[in-house]
Amino acid sequence: MKKTFGLASAFILAAGLAAGCSSTGASGDQKDNGKLDIYTTIYPLEDFTKKIGGEYVNVKSVYPPNVEAHTYEPSSKTMAEISEADAFIYSGVGVEGFADKAVNTLKGSDVKIVKAGEGIDLLSQEEEHEEHGHEEESAHEEHDHAHDHGEAEEHDHDHGDKDPHVWLDPVLAEKLAENIKDELVKLEPEHKKTFTKNYESLKKDLKQLDQDFKQTVDRADKKEILVSHAAYGYWEKRYGIKQMSVLGLSPTEEPSQKELENIVKTAKEHNIKYVIFESNVSSKISEIIKNEIGAESLTMKNLESISKEDKESGKDYLTIMKENLSVLKKALSN
């Protein structure tokens, strides 16, 4: 597979050079002449690349609408298309389950592989616990993250796991955008001015979003939220909310019976009135808990991908994050 990609790319590269064109994909039938062909993974990378690259980029997402990023695997046809693009931008922070294998395969082709999450320090579940006084048994009970630490055998997941959901933190999203901007400048230095200007405008919006989150959480009645999938750990660190989750960092991690009982107990203690679901993750267990504690459901968008409806109605990272903020505000109200 690797060899085939290599040969195909070499052929296309040769054709491109013969035609005097700088783009390796110049001869492909689906290529937009003169634009950089870029494949991205999670939705924020697609949106940021479009915003920063503007008229000079043609951006496509590897992910179909509304998928959950952790377990999705692109087809070999998509992989072949990526190998012929100018760049493949992925987060590299561990959310793209297919990434390691894909990057290995793509190394045999000419596509530039860009890790947008480069330089971002990931939170580990361990750190997220320490934030809430893991050392003190009583403090830990107070803010239990839906799993019990009393007995070793209750730990059926890896506690050293890193939280990959960095894009939901507007400050870290800015870092993703900066890395994308830097790579676009490397690919097409002649458009540095435009890329930088577009990036600065995005950065301004992200800074405002950060302020809005801060203000909303500061003014909230309570700090605890109950979510289906543990995608909001960075809001704990950044804004001081406390996330209780039914499923793990990856939605495939389901709680044990004992953890379930703990979630229900803690949710009742904190007078949790809403369970936050996600449009791209379904969870029967979360439904059961919702009924058990008599809560209502709210829907948050984790932005691992975008739905068809949201895309067609012109929504983007910023507008969807503002919707998330409204949901959060409601969830934090008494």
User: What are the residues binding Zn ion (CB under 5 A)?
Assistant: 129, 149, 231
CB of 129 or CB of 191, closer to Zn ion: 129
Our CB check for Zn ion shows the closer of 82 and 231 to be 231
Q: How far is the CB of 221 from Zn ion (least distance, A)?
A: 25
β-strand partners of 88: 39, 113
Residue 178: both structure tokens together: 């900066």
Shortest reach from residue 4's CB to Zn ion, in Å:
32
At 243, which helix (H) or strand (E)? strand 242-247
Rounded to 5°, the CA angle 274-278-279 comes to: 130
CB of 327 to Zn ion, least distance (A): 16
Residue pair 160/29 in contact by the 8 Å Cβ criterion: no
Q: Smallest distance from the beta carbon of 296 to Zn ion, in angstroms?
A: 23
CB of 43 to Zn ion, least distance (A): 12
Least distance (Å) between residue 153 CB and Zn ion: 15
Which residue number, 34 or 64, has a Cβ lying nearer to Zn ion?
Answer: 64
CB-based contact 333:311 (threshold 8 Å): no
Of residues 24 and 305, the one with the C-beta less far from Zn ion:
305
**Considering beta carbons, is residue 29 or 151 the nearer one to Zn ion?**
151
Closest CA to 329 of 251, 291, 271, 276: 276
SS3 label, residue 244: strand
Round to whole Å and give the CA distance between 166 and 34.
32
Answer yes or no: are the C-beta atoms of 148 and 259 closer than 8 Å: yes
Nearer residue to Zn ion within complex by CB, 149 or 329? 149
* Axis crossing angle, helix 2-18 with helix 76-83, rounded to the nearest 10: 40
**Nearby residues of 100 by Cβ (< 8 Å), 6 or more positions away:** none
Going from the C-alpha of 111 to that of each of 5, 8, 55, 257, 331, the distances in angstroms are 10, 12, 20, 47, 43
Nearer to Zn ion, 37 or 163 (CB): 163
Scan for tokens 């439904």, then name that residue: 287
Closest CA to 158 of 133, 129, 124: 124
Minimum separation from the CB atom of position 20 to Zn ion (A)? 44
Tokens, residue 109: 């082709």
For residue 87, give the 3-state DSSP assignment. strand
Taking the complex as a whole, the smallest distance from the CB of residue 122 to Zn ion amounts, in Å, to: 13
> Which residue is nearest to Zn ion, using beta carbons?
129
